[in-house]
């Protein structure tokens, strides 16, 4: 493997650089904090002729996703980026993109949803999109953002998948951080990511209809096809990640582990907090507390089997949710994980800490505290960590 130069760059700009290497035909992005730097930098790359992309400036996110679906339907490789209210405004379009099997890629600079207005970071924007039929992958540092973005079209456009992909990049905590990272050469990417060959496209010579009215005789089949495609996508996603590892040396798994060997208690995280959690685990291990860490990288399709293997010997799972699922009695990651263990003969005690909402800093010390508390857990718990009232 070639030794590459590491360069320092703001992660949002790096995301745009990676998109710029993907030969994207159409990009339609509406500015929204903290995503705007991606939109800006991509427009610079287009203006400077560094990528041959039609950049459509739209009047809202509803339109940016509509433009992407239209472009994708004609066989173009399409890209957008957003977060928070922008993602909520797009919500109506997301299931259409997946049902019409449009392999769009979208960066989401995860930010809370109103009200009250907050522009910082948490996962409240992505959670309402869970059932939209998109593949959702989370990143925890700048290098991962670059790698996962570069791999996203390979995954989305694979003939066994043909589904849109979201790359989650925690707002500010990741987007606005300057980090060291390395980029493959354009030639290597061109080899890794061949031009998109669509199954079916809108073309005047071969008329066809997409997304038309479907009666009950056909509609359920479409829904089943979408779900099957998403459930089956996992093995192809892993195949693409394996190829990346062979070529570029960095390994990605649907569920990743850190010091889980023999751990009685396992913390479960998703997104940027995972690196901080690693330091917390180190500190806890130094104190003699038997703790490990499991990181959910692939949020949809949910990696149930991989999770079961990763935590098989744990007595307690402490799930850290960066979003609330109001009225459920637990955060979204927590409830999904609980479902995984239904039907298992032996299952861990699962506790849930909802934390980091609205950009609250989650420190190494917080993970130490949560880890110590979880290690003593006797039954299921659901707690807003550090929140008064």
Per CB under 8 A, residues contacting other proteins are: 31-33, 36-37, 39-40, 43-44, 47, 57, 59-60, 85, 89, 114-117
CB of 111 to other proteins, least distance (A): 13
- Name which of 119 and 210 has its Cβ closer to other proteins: 119
- Of all helices (H) and strands (E), which one includes residue 110? none
Q: Which of 357, 272, 300, 370 is nearest to 323 (CA)?
A: 357
Give me 12's structure tokens.
Answer: 């949002």
Q: Do β-strands 135-138 and 105-108 pair in parallel, antiparallel, or remain unpaired?
A: unpaired
Look up residue 203 and give its DSSP letter.
B
CB of 39 to other proteins, least distance (A): 8
CB of 56 to other proteins, least distance (A): 11
Cβ count near 212 (within 10 Å): 7
CB of 38 to other proteins, least distance (A): 12
Give me 247's structure tokens.
Answer: 């070529």
CB of 62 to other proteins, least distance (A): 8
Provide the terminal-to-terminal Cα distance of the chain, rounded to the nearest Å: 54
Report the greatest alpha carbon distance in the chain.
Answer: 70
Edge-to-edge order in the sheet of strand 54-56: 54-56, 26-28, 78-82, 105-108, 165-168, 135-138, 298-300
CB of 40 to other proteins, least distance (A): 6
- Name which of 31 and 75 has its Cβ closer to other proteins: 31
- Name which of 63 and 236 has its Cβ closer to other proteins: 63
- Name which of 118 and 304 has its Cβ closer to other proteins: 118
- Name which of 68 and 100 has its Cβ closer to other proteins: 68
> DSSP letter string over 312-373?
TT-SEEEEEESS--TTSSS-HHHHHHHHHHTT-SS--EEEEEE--GGG----HHHHHHHHHH
User: Whose structure tokens read 């991962």?
Assistant: 144
- Name which of 20 and 331 has its Cβ closer to other proteins: 20
CB of 65 to other proteins, least distance (A): 13
Q: Which of 330, 336, 328 is nearest to 302 (CA)?
A: 336
Rg of the chain in Å (alpha carbons): 21
CB of 117 to other proteins, least distance (A): 6
- Name which of 47 and 309 has its Cβ closer to other proteins: 47
- Name which of 60 and 74 has its Cβ closer to other proteins: 60
């Amino acid at each position: 493997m070639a030794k590459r130069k590491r360069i320092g760059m703001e992660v949002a700009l790096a995301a745009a650089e990676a998109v710029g290497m993907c030969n994207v035909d159409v990009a339609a992005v509406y500015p929204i904090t903290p995503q705007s730097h991606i939109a800006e930098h991509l427009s610079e790359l287009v203006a400077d002729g560094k990528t041959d992309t039609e950049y459509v400036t739209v009047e809202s996110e509803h339109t940016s996703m509509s433009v992407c679906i239209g472009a994708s339907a004609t066989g173009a490789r399409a890209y957008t980026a957003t977060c928070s209210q922008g993602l909520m405004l797009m919500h109506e379009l997301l299931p259409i993109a997946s049902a019409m099997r449009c392999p769009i890629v979208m960066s989401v600079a995860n930010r809370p949803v109103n009200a009250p207005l907050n522009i910082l970071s948490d996962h409240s924007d992505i959670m309402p999109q869970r059932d939209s039929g998109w593949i959702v992958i989370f990143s925890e540092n700048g290098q991962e953002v670059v790698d996962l973005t570069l791999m996203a079209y390979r995954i989305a456009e694979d003939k066994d998948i043909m589904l849109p992909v979201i790359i989650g990049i925690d707002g500010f905590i990741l987007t606005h951080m300057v980090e060291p990272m390395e980029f493959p050469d354009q030639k290597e990417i061109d080899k890794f990511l061949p031009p998109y060959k669509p199954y079916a496209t809108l073309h005047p010579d071969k008329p066809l209809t997409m997304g038309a009215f479907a009666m009950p005789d056909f509609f359920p089949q479409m829904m089943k096809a979408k779900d099957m495609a998403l459930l089956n996508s996992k093995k192809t996603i892993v195949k693409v990640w394996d190829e990346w590892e062979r070529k570029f040396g960095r390994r990605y798994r649907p569920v990743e582990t850190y010091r889980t060997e023999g751990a009685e208690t396992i913390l479960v995280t998703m997104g940027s907090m995972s690196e901080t959690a690693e330091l917390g685990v180190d500190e806890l291990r130094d104190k003699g507390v038997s703790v490990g860490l499991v990181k959910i990288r692939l949020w949809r399709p949910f990696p149930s089997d991989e999770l079961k293997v990763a935590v098989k010997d744990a007595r307690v799972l402490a799930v850290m949710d960066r979003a609330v699922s109001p009225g459920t009695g637990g955060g979204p990651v927590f409830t999904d994980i609980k479902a995984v263990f239904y039907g298992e003969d032996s299952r861990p005690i699962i506790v849930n800490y909802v934390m980091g909402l609205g950009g609250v800093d989650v420190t190494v010390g917080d993970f130490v505290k949560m880890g110590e508390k979880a290690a003593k857990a006797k039954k299921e718990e659901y707690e807003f960590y550090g929140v008064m009232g």
